[in-house]
Structure 1
Amino acid sequence: MPRYAANLSMLYPEHAFLDRFAAAARDDFRAVECQFPYEYSVLALRDRLGACGLQQVLINAPAGNRAAGERGLACLPGREAEFRAGVEQALEYAQGLRCPLVHVMAGVVPPGCERADVQALYVDNLAWAAQRAQTAGVQITIEPINLRDVPGYFLNRQDHAHEIIDRVGAANLKVQMDLYHCQIVEGDVAMKLQRYLPTGRVAHLQIAGVPQRHEPDHGELHHPYLFDLIDALGYEGWIGCEYRPRRGAAPGGTTAGLGWRSGP
């Protein structure tokens, strides 16, 4: 049976962030993920995890100036020092929270550049991050993201992500496979799962309904079939629930939309 992790950056918007841990625990989640926890101290987050009996399974490394549209630094020339400082901060949080995975966002290809122009930098930055993470006992993940939500994002396809892993050659560099993004970019999600899950290179899955990124019981993907397939393929990791509740921040809106879940 799949194991679901609540994405606290998107679920429970009716609560302040630190109160979302308890809300997730009340809904029988046993694990959580979030995008950028750096507004809060490791101690504050660890206290919430412990009090609620939750495991932190994924965080993102800092992604640059998000208000200005930045979505990661790994492919941005001239930002190497900032990239490394962000990875160090993420690893400090991951160790403090006993979080096994840090997602390093690639970033938007700079104006005037092509993907090929920045790929070598991306590979070099990931190699450095993986080496630092190895010392910390953490795995680095990379995630293909669709161009509708993030125009110009460097990494969009599953095959490209696995090509990057080959180029880096680090055992602790893995793919974060978000089925929402995969469907929008490539489709054929079941076949992608059958191709890539047996490789052992997929460390984390995420889900949302397509196309509106709401609960996975609406839209063009039939998640019950996919969950059965994921089980049959022997995947033992977590599935992050990274979607926007249809009821938004209405009281109880996230909880009311959890009927799709077949297990904790």
Structure 2
Amino acid sequence: MPRFAANLSLMYPEREFLDRFEAAARDGFEAVEFLFPYEYAPNELAARLRANGLQQVLFNAPPGDAAANERGIACLPGREDEFRRGIEEALRYADALACPRIHVMAGLIPSGAERPALRAAYLDNLRWAAGVATRHDVQLMIEPINRRDIPGYFLNRQDDAHEIVQACGSPHVKVQMDLYHCQIVEGDVATKIRQYLPTGRVGHFQIAGVPQRHEPDLGELNYPYLFDVIDEVSAQCGWQGWVGCEYRPAAGTSAGLGWLRRLRA
């Protein structure tokens, strides 16, 4: 069975954020992820992790101007200084939380922009960030995201993400393979797990039911089968990462964990 991390930004919405750590530990999670930690002091988050015996396995770098609905700035020419400050801030949090992975969001395609210029800026920023992350022993994740959830998002496909990782040429840049987004954009999910996991370029998985982004036992994907595929391929290639539960509970979070209890049984 894969190792599962609770996404505290989406799960346990019935609780205040800082109380979600205890709730996740009570439900048997050993690790957590979340989107953006920056409204809380690093030592405050670290204390919650320690108190509940949890590992922090992923969070996002600053997305740019959140009030303007920016979804990352890594692919935006002219924003390099801001991007670098954001990476430095994210690494400060990663050190405090002993977190080995940071998701670097690509960003939205500006009106009238040419993709080659955006791709060049994206690669330049990722290469710079990888050099800094190496000194902190942190991996940077890039995630293909479907354009139904985030219209205009720059990175959408698994093959494109893997080409970018290869072009970066750094073991500190990997793909965050969200099976929810993968199914919506391109499907053939099990084959893609078998194709990409052995390459060493997949650093993290995420899951949610398709199409409504609820629990993984709701919707069109057969997750028990996909978990078996992850286990099978992991045993062959030595992958030891985490699967983040980045879904919106259909009702109460703990009540909706029947899928996890069945796996544990």
Equivalent pairs: percent with the same residue? 66
Asked if 1:246 is matched to 2:255, the reply is: no
Q: Does 1:29 align with 2:33?
A: no
Using the alignment, how far apart are the partners of 1:77 and 1:29 within structure 2? 40
Partner amino acid, structure 2, of 1:256:
A
Residue deviations 1:14-59 (CA, integer Å, cap 9, x gap): 1110000000000000000011001101100000000000000001
Counterpart contact for 1:3–1:263, Cα < 8 Å: no
Moved more, 75-84 or 14-23: 75-84
Question: Could you tell me which residue of structure 2 aligns to residue 258 of structure 1?
Answer: 257
Report the residue type matching 1:171 in the other structure. Answer: P
Match of 2:134 in 1: 134
Matches within 5 A, 1:35-114: 35-114=35-114
Are the aligned partners of 1:100 and 1:139 in contact in 2 as well (CA < 8 Å)?
yes
1:116 deviates by 2.0
Contact 2:77 2:117 in 1 (8 A): no
| Equivalent residues of 2:208, 2:214 under 8 A apart | yes
What is the root-mean-square deviation in Å for CA atoms of aligned residues? 1.0
| CA–CA distance in structure 2, aligned partners of residues 172 and 236 of structure 1 | 16
User: How far is the alpha carbon of 1:263 from its aligned partner?
Assistant: 3.1
The yes-or-no answer on 1:213 pairing with 2:213 is yes
> SS where residue 171 of structure 2 aligns?
coil
In structure 1, the residue matched to 2:223 is 223
Higher normalized contact order (CA 8 Å, seq sep 6+, divided by chain length): 1
- Give the distance between the partners of 1:65 and 1:29, measured in 2 at CA: 32
Structure 2 unmatched ranges of 5 or more: none
Query: Partners in 2 of 1:45 and 1:171 — Cα distance?
Result: 28
| Deviation string, structure 1 residues 144-167 (Cα, Å, up to 9, x no partner) | 000111111110000000100111
Relative to structure 2, which stretch is displaced further, 112-121 or 17-26?
112-121
Q: What one-letter code is carried by the residue in structure 1 that aligns with 2:231?
A: D
- 1:13 and 2:13 aligned: yes
| Structure 1 segment 179-218 matched on structure 2, within 5 A | 179-218=179-218
Moved over 6 A (4+): none
Shift of 1:67: 2.7
Give the Cα separation in 1 of the matches to 2:50 and 2:188. 39
1:169 is aligned to 169
Q: Which residue of 2 aligns with 1:232?
A: 232
User: In structure 1, how many angstroms separate the alpha carbons of the residues matched to 2:33 and 2:115?
Assistant: 29
| 1:181-209 superposed Cα distances (whole Å, 9 cap, x missing partner) | 00000000000000000111101000000
Q: Deviations over 1:84-132 (max 9, x none)?
A: 0000000000011000000000000111113222100000000001000
Tell me, yes or no, if the aligned pair for 1:2 and 1:263 is still in contact at 8 Å: no
